[in-house]
Amino acid sequence: MGSLACSTLVSHWFRIYLYIVVNENESQKKKGLMVNVHKTKYMKCTRRQAQLTPISIENKEYEEVKSFKYLGAIVNIDNAMEEEIKERIALGNKAYFANKKMFQSKIITKREKLKLYHTIIRPIVTYACETWILKDTIINKLFERKILRKIFGPINEKGIWRIKTNQELDEIIKHKNIINFIRAQRLGWLGHVERMQGTRMVKAIYCWYPISSRPTGRPKTRWMDDIRKDIQRLKVPNWKTLTQDRKGWKEKLVEKAKTL
């Protein structure tokens, strides 16, 4: 079974699951495998506002949390991406300042600095971006243009220095900006999920529709709603059929989305 000393996202079956694990743990205790009470948490996804209450099993209490980090990504009770994206941006800033001297160096060429950004900083910021929903508030917080201005510097117009505009920067990198990169990553993941067999857990969740109705008020933008907007912008008909052609999907959508 391996170490159970990790935070786990669970449903209302958590108590049953943990009870079984604890009772089966007698044989594992001899091998040193035990449930770590301090690292094992549980979270309930519900719209009801309630106090966090620990679960008591076999005289041990397991903490209830509103969010936790799983496989490097933050999962929270509201299923919102803002917290996770803020964390990724903060880590990207740390990576930038750790390599700031290299970006300011006059010895390293602009081309090499751009490669440095694409291979070190961008992957940190866009980790697990396949599941993101791109809101305007999120797009404005992505700091790529700040780094690009450091790389390409200002421009001299009739003896007056000024910083490059967003459009000028976009033209220099041939529209391969971080937003289009995220869109391409999401489309690549969509094609992968569509090609999955129906028995896979991810495919089952993707095809599942909740029985209950959505709550009153302005509905949240869903991941699939955002993806459909990207597909409409690319003007690709019968996209579901195209997903089965892995090479065609990559050439006609994924690669095209990088320069949208």
Q: In the predicted model, is pLDDT for residue 1 greater than 50?
A: no
Cα separation, 60 vs 67, in Å, equals 21
* pTM, two decimal places: 0.80
Mean pLDDT in residue range 106-134: 92
Mean pLDDT in residue range 210-236: 85
Mean pLDDT in residue range 55-66: 80
What confidence tens digit (pLDDT) does each residue in 166-215 have?
A: 899 999 999 999 999 999 999 999 999 999 998 898 898 898 887 777 77
CA-closest candidate to residue 58, choices 27, 94, 89, 34: 34
Q: In the predicted model, is pLDDT for residue 94 greater than 90?
A: yes
CA-closest candidate to residue 21, choices 7, 33, 9: 33
Q: How confident is the model at residue 7 (pLDDT cuts 50, 70, 90)?
A: very low
Give me the percent of the chain exceeding a pLDDT of 70: 87
Q: Which amino acid makes up residue 159? A: G
Q: How confident is the model at residue 59 (pLDDT cuts 50, 70, 90)?
A: confident
Q: How confident is the model at residue 22 (pLDDT cuts 50, 70, 90)?
A: low
Q: In the predicted model, is pLDDT for residue 4 greater than 70?
A: no
CA-closest candidate to residue 129, choices 184, 59, 51, 56: 184
Query: E-assigned strands of the chain?
Result: 41-42, 55-57, 60-64, 67-70, 73-76, 155-157, 160-162
Three-state secondary-structure class, residue 74: strand
What is the per-residue pLDDT for 15? 58
CA-closest candidate to residue 3, choices 46, 32, 30: 32
What confidence tens digit (pLDDT) does each residue in 121-179 have?
A: 999 999 989 989 888 777 767 778 889 999 999 998 888 999 999 899 999 999 999 99
Read off the DSSP letter of residue 251. I
